[in-house]
């Protein structure tokens, strides 16, 4: 099954991001395809290179980047939501790219399911 993922919540203030990561990882392990993850609303904070958690905490941004690299996942950050929150190309973490809502629409059309995490 081909899954498109949409994440609407920030990095450390909501369980949605951790749940989304675990879901995507489990789906891939079960043989499902996740060609694109779309970060929207506060979810764009998942792509910030400015995130610097303590060494004994999980680094959510790096986890996403590693998963995307290992499984060739297109990690798209909504341009409008990113700019509203001060995220631009120069502070985007490796493995992410900024684009428009058309990428979300395309992912939803091409996937068997669109799974949304967060409000």
Catalytic residue among 78, 79, 87, 104: 78
Contact yes or no for 110/35 (Cβ under 8 A)? yes
Of 110, 102, 79, nearest in space to 4 by CA: 110
- The token pair that represents 112 in the structure block: 């068997």
Q: Is 94 a catalytic residue?
A: no
All residues at 6 or more sequence positions from 3 whose CB lies less than 8 Å from its CB, including other chains: 24, 27, 32, 33, 34, 111, 112, 113, 114, 115
Active site residues: 78
């Amino acid at each position: 099954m081909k899954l498109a993922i949409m994440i609407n919540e920030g990095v450390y203030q909501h369980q949605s991001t951790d749940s989304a990561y675990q879901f995507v990882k489990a789906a891939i392990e079960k043989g499902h395809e996740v060609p694109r993850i779309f970060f929207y609303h506060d979810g764009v904070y998942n792509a910030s290179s400015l995130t610097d958690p303590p060494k004994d905490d999980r680094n959510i941004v790096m986890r996403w980047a590693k998963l995307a690299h290992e499984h060739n996942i297109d990690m798209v950050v909504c341009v409008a939501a990113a700019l509203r929150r001060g995220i631009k190309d120069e502070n985007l973490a490796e493995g992410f790219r900024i684009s428009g809502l058309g990428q979300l629409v395309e992912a939803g059309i091409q996937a068997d399911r669109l799974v949304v995490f967060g409000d």
